[in-house]
């Protein structure tokens, strides 16, 4: 559906050239939810803007839904943009238009008749759950409602691709979740390909099938979300994964525990997919002569399975502990000793 | 003290002068609105990072606007005498004031239009682009509606300035309340004539401001 080949974007400034996007290659499949994560300035914003021609690559080509977006101009590009919609961090609604008129805007651009427009707008309002707010102005809506208008507007012309530019970054966590659920629902119902950029791993975890991690204009890591969670390679990826798997205070807690327990070992277990459902701890206690103390744990759901971490304290004879750790390793559970007792 | 108040006032003459002032103001406001809007749009669109970014054109329009905005109005009238004679055929009468009024006010309004357009959130223009909007769609369905409160309050201020300009134009023989206040009031020492002419001008200004405020608050949905 989307193919980004050898794309570079170089901004020249007085201080020299800046490589905003550096040799990026990505293939995104039809019906996929693809996430790009990175800190601000990583080039993700430039990258997503190349998908609808708001930015042009300095080198390389961008093909979306069979059209070479990086080459076409004028009317052809405008036509293509009707099939590649975008939603924005700050919603970018027209304050001078009501909800209904805002959603109608892309239909006016596409030359849809008034009667058809009314019908389509009604459908969209229902789809995004804004019944009763049709005649409100954006200033009378909450952030979440504004983004719903943004989504309805983006879907008006039945696009093939939806680009989300930090679409939930201006929303509170609860509203973020409801907007993400709406996006998943749309993806399933309409088979829409969604590309989103974000700096929140939570968003990636919750809805993406695949993820690319960007740093300094390059994609440093890419793969299925579960795979990346299970086995992050780059330091930056590890940091992002920690955002969702480890509660903020984990480090402090572990340090405190080390002080507290003078014998035994503190072990971090990592569960991915099916292994998260196995009774590892029960087996551990049954087969080995060790005491298990559960310290802290968390399980996160992703689109392709669950992922979790568990901190436990093992106590007993050195021999038994070593055997126990070895046993956990054979259970498709990641194991890492935090400290030797 | 012996004579009764307002005995010098020729009321039909005062009414005629009022309609002349209203006529000059109305025509020049309409023309200024159209011309200023065009110039303001051009200034905005040819500006940096905009739809028709074009440095030379922008510099030329900007220079033109700045020059005509800074010439004192009374001097502008004199400078425009040749042009006015060609256009109107005379230097006397309300129509003779129009070219100077419009040339004086349009650049002033153009800057206000430009400021109003610059206040539009860039993201909204980008959103329209991302939907496949053409430049004309962006102008008529995004830029103008989204800046309408600024455009209306701008033309209100300009219209009030124009009422003042018509009074000045009156001095050089364009008719209207300014002319009346100067010739009948000041030169013949009939202070009551000057007073009444001033009050009428004040009333006109208040009405314009009142209408402008009502319309602005009605269309502003932010």
Inspect the interface and report whether the beta carbons of A85 and B131 lie closer than 8 Å: yes
Tell me, yes or no, whether B175 lies in a domain.
no
Contact (CB, 8 A) for A313 and A256? no
Our CA-based measurement puts residue A146 at a distance from the nearest CA of chain B, in whole angstroms, of 13
pLDDT band at A324 (very low <50, low <70, confident <90, very high): confident
Inspect the interface and report whether the beta carbons of B146 and A106 lie closer than 8 Å: no
Nearest to A88 among B127, B132, B141 (CB): B127
pLDDT band at B112 (very low <50, low <70, confident <90, very high): very high
Q: Report the C-alpha gap between A186 and A85 in whole angstroms.
A: 13
pLDDT score at A340: 52
Positive or negative torsion for Cα A283, A289, A294, A295:
negative
Contact (CB, 8 A) for A58 and A70? no
Burial code (b: 16+ CB inside 10 Å, e: under 16) for A309-320 equals bbbbbbbbeeeb
Interface residues of A toward B, Cβ cutoff 8 Å, are: 52, 54, 77-82, 84-86, 88, 90, 92-97, 105-106, 108-110, 137-139, 153, 157, 163
Tell me, yes or no, whether B192 lies in a domain.
no
What mean pLDDT, rounded, does chain A reach?
89
Quick one: average pLDDT of A290-312?
A: 81
pLDDT score at B3: 59
| A85: helix, strand or coil | strand
Kindly state the tokens that stand for A341. 């007792």
Q: Is the pLDDT of residue B109 over 80?
A: yes
Instruction: Name the nearest CA neighbour of B25 among B205, B148, B193.
Output: B205
pLDDT score at B5: 67
Inspect the interface and report whether the beta carbons of A94 and B137 lie closer than 8 Å: no
Positive or negative torsion for Cα A285, A287, A291, A292:
negative
Determine what percent of chain A is predicted with pLDDT higher than 70.
96
Better-scored residue on pLDDT, B181 or A162 = A162
Contact (CB, 8 A) for A62 and A56? no
Inspect the interface and report whether the beta carbons of A92 and B141 lie closer than 8 Å: no
What order do you get walking across the sheet with A16-28 strand by strand? A16-28, A2-13, A59-64, A67-68
Q: Chain B residue with minimal CA distance to A107?
A: B131
Inspect the interface and report whether the beta carbons of A105 and B145 lie closer than 8 Å: no
**The pairing of beta strand A305-316 with beta strand A265-272:** antiparallel
Domain count, chain B: 1
pLDDT score at A293: 85
B7 and A CB contact within 8 Å: no
Rounded to 5 degrees, what are φ and ψ at A300?
-115, 140
Rounded to 5 degrees, what are φ and ψ at A311?
-105, 125
B122 and A CB contact within 8 Å: no
pLDDT tens for each residue of B154-204: 999 999 999 989 888 876 777 888 888 887 877 888 888 888 889 999 999
Q: Chain A residue with minimal CA distance to B148?
A: A96
Q: Is the pLDDT of residue B31 over 70?
A: yes
| A30: helix, strand or coil | coil
Nearest to B129 among A54, A94, A97 (CB): A54
Contact (CB, 8 A) for A180 and A203? yes
Place of tokens 């239909």: A107
Burial code (b: 16+ CB inside 10 Å, e: under 16) for A137-169 equals bbeebebbbbbbbbbbbbbbbebbbbbbbbbbe
B135 and A CB contact within 8 Å: no
Inspect the interface and report whether the beta carbons of A54 and B130 lie closer than 8 Å: yes
Q: What count of Cα atoms within 13 Å lies in the side-chain half-sphere of residue B187? A: 8
Our CA-based measurement puts residue A113 at a distance from the nearest CA of chain B, in whole angstroms, of 16
Contact (CB, 8 A) for A53 and A65? no
CATH architecture, domain defined by A2-244: 3-Layer(aba) Sandwich (3.40)
Domain ranges of chain A: 2-244, 248-339
* A contact test, residue of B132, B141, B151 with most A CBs within 10 A: B132
Domain membership of residue B142 as a residue range: 23-165
Q: Report the C-alpha gap between A242 and A310 in whole angstroms.
A: 13
| B63: helix, strand or coil | helix
Our CA-based measurement puts residue A91 at a distance from the nearest CA of chain B, in whole angstroms, of 8
B136 and A CB contact within 8 Å: no
Nearest to A94 among B124, B126, B132 (CB): B124
B219 and A CB contact within 8 Å: yes
Q: What angle do CA A68, A28, A222 make, to 5 degrees?
A: 125
Inspect the interface and report whether the beta carbons of B134 and A80 lie closer than 8 Å: no
Better-scored residue on pLDDT, A262 or A119 = A119
pLDDT score at A339: 67
pLDDT tens for each residue of A79-136: 999 999 999 999 999 999 999 999 999 999 999 999 999 999 999 999 999 999 999 9
pLDDT score at B201: 93
Tell me, yes or no, whether B185 lies in a domain.
no
B126 vs A contacts (CB less than 8 Å): 54, 88, 92
Phi-psi region of A129 (alpha: psi -120 to 50; beta: other; left: phi over 0): left
Q: Report the C-alpha gap between A58 and A53 in whole angstroms.
A: 12
B143 vs A contacts (CB less than 8 Å): none
pLDDT tens for each residue of A2-48: 999 999 999 888 888 888 999 999 999 999 999 999 998 899 999 99
pLDDT score at A341: 44
Rounded to 5 degrees, what are φ and ψ at A198?
-160, 165
pLDDT band at A189 (very low <50, low <70, confident <90, very high): very high
B148 and A CB contact within 8 Å: yes
Q: Report the C-alpha gap between A93 and A164 in whole angstroms.
A: 15
pLDDT band at B1 (very low <50, low <70, confident <90, very high): very low
For A43, the enclosing helix (H) or strand (E) is none
pLDDT score at A178: 93
pLDDT score at A53: 93
Tell me, yes or no, whether B191 lies in a domain.
no
pLDDT score at B4: 63
Instruction: Name B69's bridge partners.
Output: none
**Range of lowest pLDDT (A113-117, A170-174, A293-297, B133-137):** A293-297
Q: Report the C-alpha gap between A283 and A328 in whole angstroms.
A: 9
Quick one: average pLDDT of B92-98?
A: 82
Quick one: average pLDDT of B105-129?
A: 95
Q: Report the C-alpha gap between A308 and A217 in whole angstroms.
A: 30
Q: What's the per-residue H, E or C state across A163-208?
A: EEECCCCCCCHHHHHHHHHHHHHHHHHHCCEEEEEECCHHHHHHHC
Q: What CATH number has the domain bearing residue B115?
A: 1.10.3720.10
Q: Report the C-alpha gap between B116 and B217 in whole angstroms.
A: 15
Instruction: Name the nearest CA neighbour of A127 among A150, A161, A101.
Output: A150
Better-scored residue on pLDDT, A266 or B210 = B210
Homologous superfamily (CATH) for A248-339: ACT domain (3.30.70.260)
Inspect the interface and report whether the beta carbons of B121 and A137 lie closer than 8 Å: no
């Amino acid at each position: 559906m989307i193919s980004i080949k050898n794309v570079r974007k170089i901004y020249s400034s007085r201080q020299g050239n800046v490589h905003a996007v550096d040799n990026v290659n990505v293939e995104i499949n039809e019906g996929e939810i693809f996430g790009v994560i990175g800190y601000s300035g990583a080039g993700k914003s430039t990258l997503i803007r190349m998908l609808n021609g708001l930015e042009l690559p300095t080198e390389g080509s961008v093909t979306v839904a069979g059209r070479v977006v990086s080459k076409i101009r004028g009317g052809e590009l405008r036509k293509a943009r009707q099939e590649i919609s975008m939603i924005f961090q700050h919603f970018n609604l027209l304050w001078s238009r009501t909800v209904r008129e805002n959603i109608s805007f892309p239909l006016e651009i596409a030359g849809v008749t008034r009667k058809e427009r009314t019908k389509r707008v009604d459908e969209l309002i229902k789809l995004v759950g804004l019944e009763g707010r049709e005649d409100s102005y954006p200033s009378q809506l909450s952030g979440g409602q504004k983004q719903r208008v943004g989504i309805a507007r983006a879907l008006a012309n039945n696009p093939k691709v939806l680009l989300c530019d930090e679409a939930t970054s201006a929303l509170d966590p609860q509203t973020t979740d409801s907007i993400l659920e709406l996006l998943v629902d749309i993806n399933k119902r309409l088979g829409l390909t969604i590309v989103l950029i974000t700096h929140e791993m939570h968003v990636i975890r919750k809805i993406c099938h695949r993820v690319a991690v960007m740093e300094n204009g390059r994609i440093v890591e890419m793969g299925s979300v579960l795979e990346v969670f299970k086995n992050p390679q780059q330091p930056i990826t590890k940091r992002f994964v920690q955002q969702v798997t480890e509660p903020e205070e984990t480090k402090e807690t572990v340090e405190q525990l080390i002080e507290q327990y003078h014998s035994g070992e503190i072990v971090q277990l990592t569960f991915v997919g099916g292994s998260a459902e196995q009774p590892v701890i029960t087996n551990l206690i049954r087969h080995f002569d060790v005491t298990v103390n559960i310290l802290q744990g968390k399980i996160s759901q992703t689109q392709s399975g669950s992922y979790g971490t568990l901190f436990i304290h093992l106590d007993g004879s050195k021999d038994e502990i070593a055997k126990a750790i070895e046993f956990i390793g054979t259970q498709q559970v990641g194991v890492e000793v935090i400290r030797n007792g | 003290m012996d004579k009764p108040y307002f005995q010098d006032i020729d009321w039909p003459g005062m009414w005629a002068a009022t309609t002349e002032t209203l006529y000059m103001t109305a025509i020049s406001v309409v023309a200024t609105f159209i011309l200023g809007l065009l110039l303001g749009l051009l200034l905005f669109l040819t500006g940096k990072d905009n739809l028709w970014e074009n440095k030379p054109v922008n510099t030329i329009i900007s220079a033109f606007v700045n020059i005509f905005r800074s010439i004192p109005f009374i001097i502008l009238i004199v400078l425009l005498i040749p042009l006015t004679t060609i256009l109107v055929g005379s230097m006397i009468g309300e129509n003779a004031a129009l070219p100077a009024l419009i040339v004086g006010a349009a650049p002033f309004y153009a800057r206000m239009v430009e400021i109003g357009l610059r206040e539009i959130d860039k993201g909204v223009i980008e959103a329209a682009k991302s939907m496949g909007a053409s430049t004309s769609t962006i102008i008529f369905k995004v830029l103008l509606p989204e800046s309408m409160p600024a455009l209306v309050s701008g033309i209100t201020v300009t219209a009030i300035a124009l009422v003042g300009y018509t009074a000045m134009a009156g001095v050089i023989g364009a008719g209207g309340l300014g002319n009346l206040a100067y010739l009948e009031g000041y030169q013949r020492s009939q202070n009551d004539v000057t007073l009444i002419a001033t009050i009428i001008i004040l009333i006109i200004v208040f009405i314009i401001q009142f209408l402008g405020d009502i319309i602005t608050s009605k269309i502003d949905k932010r």
